[in-house]
Every structure is written in structure tokens, then in C-alpha cells.
Amino acid sequence: MDSQTLGEHYSRIAEWWDNGIKDSKYGVEYVERAIQRVQNKGSALDVGCGSGGRIINSILSAGFSLTALDVSEGMIRLAQKKHRDVHFIHTDLLSWKSAERFDLIIAWDSIFHAPCAQQKPIIEKLCGLLSPDGVLLFTGSHTHGDIIGEDMNGVGFEYGSLHYLEYLRIMEQCGCEFIIMERDQPDPRHVVYMCRKLADKDADAV
Ligand SMILES: C[S@@+](CC[C@H](N)C(=O)[O-])C[C@H]1O[C@@H](n2cnc3c(N)ncnc32)[C@H](O)[C@@H]1O
């Protein structure tokens, strides 16, 4: 599924998604663990921010200035209604370019929608967007492959992942030290990854 179609699919379920997630603390524990690891709480990036809420609130409470992007117009419109002090961008991460570097990057349950063939360039891009000592948190799976046709509220979605050892190798190649690889749910396919950019590694242009 291309990113535009993914965005349209999320826009179709945006209200349903928001109703289901608005009182949830899902993932917040990991976002807070990532925040604790960041020395300079300057700028943060939320990749695939969805309809906003709990994750954005945690990042703002810690004092970061926040850029949040999402490929779904419907999702980002809901997020904009909740948060006034966030720089929202309606875009696809894959085509988005930025000269800015971030002290914290969160990609919670977003980049796992990209096919496995795009996972390596995505992780390289996110590591490249980190400031020295910056922390990246993302979710993926543990085996190499694509899953097609899982649906939410009657709308189809696709997922892709690398093998966990591939994620660890890419992070290391990008000058990052791995901090966390944990299963947080009964479903063993859901894995949380966290890494930190080593201070002596320059961020490459993306
Ligand atoms: C499952 S929702 C998660 C939203 C939010 N991170 C949360 O946990 O509440 C996934 C979101 O990621 C966005 N997304 C997925 N791939 C993206 C991409 N390549 N660029 C920008 N946004 C993307 C989707 O549009 C959707 O809003």
C-alpha cells in the first residue's frame, strides 16, 4: 500500500481511532522512558502522530518543542484541534526532508506500516535526524516480512518489519547505541526499539 492510500485509509477511521485511544495510556511508559534518556530536552519529532493526545502531551510536558507529522489529513486535523503549541506537518515521512536535528524522535506504531523493503531507509533516515545524544523510539516486529490485509474498523492495513537483528545492526551502522528491545504486549509480533545517537557521530544529511 502506498503512503497516500495509507493516509486515506487512516482518514476513513480517524474518528473511530480517536474515540478508542483518547483515554488510553498505550505506549506512554516507553515514551517517558525515552524522555528520561534525553539530556537536552530541546526539540522533538513525532512521526505518525495520528490524532494526538497522550504521546504529544507527554512530550510537551517534558518541555520539548514539538514537530509532529502524519500522512493522514483526517488524523492530523483531529490532533490540531487538541494541541495549539505543536508544529504539525501533513506529509509522508518517506518524502519529507528536514535540515533540523531532533533530541527525541518517537515513531510509535507508525513506521510499521511501511513494507519491509522500506524499513532500512526509514531507520537510517530517523537516525540521521537525531542530534548527538538524541534518542529514537519506534515500534516494529521481530521477523523479516510483510503482513497484508489486517483490518481496523473494516478498513484494510498493511505492515512490514525487518528481523530484530537487522534493526540492531542498522542502528549501530548509523552511529546509535541500542537501549531497548522489548515485547510490550501478549502479541509477540509487537516489539519496542529504542536507541541513542552517540555524541561523536555526526548526523548525516537526509
Ligand atoms: C496506528 S496510528 C498511531 C498514531 C499515534 N502514533 C498513536 O500511537 O496514537 C499510525 C499513524 O501513523 C501515520 N503514518 C504511517 N505511516 C506514515 C508515514 N510514512 N508518514 C507519515 N505518517 C505515517 C498514519 O497516518 C497514522 O495516523
The per-residue pLDDT for range 7-34, each reduced to its tens digit, is 999 999 999 999 999 999 999 999 999 9
Mind listing the domains of the chain with CATH numbers?
Answer: 3-21+28-197 (3.40.50.150)
% residues pLDDT > 90 (the chain): 90
For the four alpha carbons of 131, 133, 137 and 140, in that order, the dihedral sign comes to positive
User: Probe ligand 1: pick from 69, 113, 150, max atoms within 8 Å of CB?
Assistant: 113
pTM: 0.96
The per-residue pLDDT for range 88-138, each reduced to its tens digit, is 999 999 999 999 999 999 999 999 999 999 999 999 999 999 999 999 999
Say if residue 7 is exposed, middle or buried (CB neighbours under 10 Å; 0-12, 13-18, 19+). Answer: buried
CA–CA dist 111, 108 (Å, integer)? 8
Q: Measure 63 CA to ligand 1 centroid, in angstroms.
A: 23
User: Probe ligand 1: pick from 54, 70, 95, max atoms within 8 Å of CB?
Assistant: 70
- Which residue, 84, 146, 85, 96, is CA-closest to 117? 146
What is the distance, to the nearest Å, from the Cα of residue 22 to the centroid of all Cα atoms in its chain? Answer: 18
The per-residue pLDDT for range 124-142, each reduced to its tens digit, is 999 999 999 999 999 999 9
